[in-house]
Each structure stands twice: as structure tokens, then as C-alpha cells.
Amino acid sequence: MRIVKLTNETKKNLLDDLLKRSPNHYTEYADTVQEIVDRIKENGNQALFDYTKKFDKADISESNIRVTKEEIEEAYEKTDAHLIEVIRKALVNIRSYHEKQRQYSWFDTTEEGTILGQKVTPLESVGVYVPGGKAAYPSSLLMNIVPAKVAGVKNIIMTTPCNAEGKVYPTTLVAANEAGVDAIYKAGGAQAIASLAYGTESIPKVDKIVGPGNIFVALAKRAVYGYVGIDSIAGPSEILVLADETANPRYVAADLLSQAEHDELASAILVTTSEELAKKVAEDVDGFIKELSRSEIIRKSIDHYGYILVAEDMENAIAAANDIASEHLEIVTKNPFEVMTKIRNAGAIFIGEYSSEPLGDYFAGPNHVLPTNGTAKFFSPLSVDDFIKKSSIIYYSKEALEPIQQDIIDFATSEQLTAHANSIKVRFEDKK
């Protein structure tokens, strides 16, 4: 890994480099995606089946697009029993964490005759997209379905690509069934996103679409946003480790590579106050790459988006971490909790040397669907909040409105909105 001194210039160059990975920079695919979206909107199932044949080489029709109970039972038979137990254990943790995020309607009343409040309503239907190309990620599936279930969403529809034989990864089906999905359809790519957004003869339209995917999925979500809600347009995965001389270089190197193996565009960054640690981590990274199965992907990720930044002091290191606003942030210092209080921008914060990023990916409970590409400065992890909507409640009696009527009339008149003013005025005509 390249080791550079942390300066304003090197930080700016790094941020510019990372932003190149944003889906917003892949505009050359936008027209292709828009054509797919438009065809699905116009032709429904027929376009969906045509694209599935073209991209996934599968003969899908109305008769076999929906995953059956028998296919789910077959998936359980093909999935390792121990893995099923692990999925169930993880579900307990994920559900328990998200249940603490529940919001409830509330109302405040006064003796003067007013009621103000907020009505919380779960979304009616949600579409969950689950990738199925290079690998299966049942953990991500759990992270998208569980908060929707906890929020009280009535209908959770899942789409995922199938193989040429029309089969879906067994672990994907098992995890979806354990999480409580209502229906699963064999559809992938931009065509699946468009089907969820507009509905086809087989796939019902939903109110919001969540879930990760490739650049075509990301651009399709952007194309249908506004017609339906979306979670975000996520970029490649990223990790930043904030460490001092007390950190174990072998642990740090291993954690950096845990994200680099996701994607050639993934980024792995170490910000440290110790030059000695920087050198040892770089050596351990090279050693691990030789041993790991996805070494080719890891090497490209590290070569293009891997950095070790050496800061003068922890204050500058923390400032860099806040500017980068990484999806995953590990704090491995002698006083990690104190450092944590100074972090403003991060998707998820992992504290201490035994809280490595995969703990959050699979088991701890907090959601691993996190803001990327610096959006942690203004976005939050996926949560129960993403699956509810809030309505304001306002009630005033005549007795409560009367003392303030002139204030409202004057305010509206100052904005030259006389119809607004009149709406209040007519209610007290009998007083004049």
C-alpha cells in the first residue's frame, strides 16, 4: 500500500480520487438503463422476460417467475444446517437492535383546546433488491428486510436474479424466508428495479425500493426515484481505520482487506500517527494478499484506492477521518472512546481492536447498509425510519384560534396571500 504524509494537498487528492467511484460518474450507462426502464414501463412482463433471457439466459414466464414454496423447501435441503442456525442467531441480534428504533405516534393537548401531534404510519409495500451475480449476500438481505418488518410494512416484495436454469441461490431463499419476506420474484438488474417501480402483470408496484446492486441497478434506482422512494444510490464499499502506535498492525491489515475484497473499486484507508505502524501494516497487507482467495480483486482495489496516511498528531488524523466520512470507521487507539466523541462523519463506528468491521456486517445487529462516497456527512444507515412516514396532526378549537386569528391574518397579508388571510377571517365574521 502507498504510504503518504497527510497534508491538505494529499487529502484533497485522495477525496477527488474517491469521488470518481460514485455512480454519478458512470453516465455512459444512463441511456441504456433509461431504455430498459422505459420498456418495462410500457410493456411490463414481456419486456421483463425478454431482458431476463438476454442477460441471465433464463426462460422465465408468468408460470415460474415467482419462487414457490417447494423451491424454498428445496433451498433448505441444500443449505448447510449450521449456516441456517447462524442466520437465525444473526436475525435475533438484528431484530433486537432495530426494535429499539421504533417510533410511535404522539399527541400533545392543551386546556385552550389544541391538539398537536405526529402520526407514524408504516409504508404499505416495499421492494427489496438482492444481487445474485458474482456472489450471494444473505447478510445484506437480512439488513434490508428486518427493519421493514419491524416498521410494520405490510407487503415486502423481493427480486433477485436467477441462473440459466431458473434457480436462485439456496442461501438467498433461506435467508429471505427466515426474515419474513412475503414474495420472491426471479428478476435482476435494471429491469427488476423498473418492475418494482411501475409494476408488471406479475410483479406488484411498490412504494419504495431498497437494496444494493451493480451500476445498472444504481442508475435504475436513480431513474425511478420520485415515482417511488429509494434508500440511496450506493457507491463501492469503503473502510477507514484510525490508529495510533498501540494498534496491532496484523489486525489493521486484515480489516483493511475485508473491504478491499468486495470490489475493485472498494477503498481501504489507514490514517495513523505512527510511521512504524504504517510500514508494518503495508508489509502485512502484502503478506495477506498472497494468501487470500480474492487476491486479484483485492490487489486492484489496494493499488487504485488503498492509502496509508501518516498524520502529525491525532487531531489531524481525526480531522481527516471527518473529511473522508467513510462508510466504515474503525478506531484502534489507546483511548478509542474519547476519539469516538470527536467523530462527526461515519456510517458505522467500530471501537477497539476486537470490534472489526465484519462483526457489523454479519452479527452485531446494527444495519450494514451504510452511506458511501462521503455521504455520511448527511445520510444515516438504513433503519426503521426508512420504512415509515410521518403525518403532522393539528387541531384547534374556535376558542383556541380566536386569540391568535389576527396574528395569522397579519402574517398572511404581509406575504400578500390574501386568500390565506381570508380563510381565517371568515371564521370570525359573526364577531364583527
pLDDT of residue 74: 98
The b/e string for 197-212 (b: 16+ C-beta within 10 A; e otherwise) is bbebebbbebbbbbbb
**Does position 432 have pLDDT exceeding 90, yes or no?**
no
Nearest to 371 by CA among 238, 256, 240: 238
* Count of beta carbons in the 10 Å neighbourhood of residue 228: 19
High-pLDDT (> 90) share of the chain, %:
84
pLDDT by residue (tens digit) across 93-152? 999 999 999 999 999 999 999 999 999 999 999 999 999 866 678 999 999 999 999 999
Alpha helix segments (H runs only) across 152-248 = 170-179, 189-198, 215-224
Neighbours of 363 (CB within 10 A): 14
**Is the confidence at residue 385, as pLDDT, over 80?**
yes
The helices-and-strands tally (H runs, E runs) of the chain is 18, 14
Question: Whole-prediction pTM value?
Answer: 0.92
User: What was the pLDDT predicted at 126?
Assistant: 98
pLDDT tens per residue, range 21-37: 776 666 788 999 999 99
Give the model confidence (pLDDT) of 405-431 as tens digits. Answer: 999 999 999 999 999 999 999 999 987
Strands 114-122 and 106-109: antiparallel
pLDDT 10s digits, 144-178: 999 999 999 999 999 999 999 999 999 999 999 99
Backbone dihedral region of 113: left (phi > 0), alpha (psi from -120 to 50 degrees) or beta?
Answer: left
pLDDT of residue 16: 84
Res 20: pLDDT: 75
How many whole angstroms separate alpha carbon 370 and alpha carbon 347?
5
Q: What is the pLDDT of residue 136?
A: 76
Mean pLDDT of 391-399: 96
* The residue to which cell 405490510 is assigned: 154
**Residue range 302-326: average pLDDT?**
94
Residue 24's pLDDT is: 65
CA distance 402 to 404: 6
pLDDT score at 47: 98
The pLDDT value recorded for residue 234 is 80
Q: What is the mean pLDDT of the chain?
A: 94
Letter string b/e over residues 339-351, b meaning 16 or more CB atoms within 10 A of that residue's CB: bbeebebbbbbbb
Cell of 251: 489486525
Catalytic (active-site) positions: 327-328
Percent of the chain with pLDDT over 70: 98
